[in-house]
Amino acid sequence: MTTRSSVLKLLRQIGVPVDKSGVISSGLTVMAIAACLFLFYSGLQGNHGLIQQRKLEDQRLLMERELHDLQSKVAFMKNKTERLSDQFLDLELLDERVRRVLGYVREDEFVVN
């Protein structure tokens, strides 16, 4: 029993309101519960909470996929540009582009729409 009384005496000395039965007053308990709830809510819903972190991770993955797609398109266009350049002329690609863009056909071919 002396340990309990010494703890209560110490609590009173540091300013914690304790009633005669040794129970800390309900106001402090309510404040402690409110602080815990606030920290829990902030940890989940806050600007740096778990939910926001999950959203940012999903957004990062989406942007990485989009970056990969754009890099693939750039590589494809670089390849096509190189094949149409003066240093490296791909005649099949040139023929395809002339037919598609300018609408040329050879005399022995038929066009079906």
d(CA 28, CA 14): 14
**What is the per-residue pLDDT across 69-100, written as a single tens digit (0 to 9) for each?**
999 999 999 988 888 777 887 788 888 888 88
Tell me the pTM: 0.50
Q: In which residue are the tokens 């129970």 written?
A: 23
Domain residue ranges in the chain? 1-45, 57-103
Is 70 exceeded by the pLDDT of residue 24?
no
Is 60 exceeded by the pLDDT of residue 17?
yes
- Say which residues have a Cβ less than 8 Å from residue 49's Cβ, sequence separation at least 6: 42, 43
- Say which residues have a Cβ less than 8 Å from residue 46's Cβ, sequence separation at least 6: 52
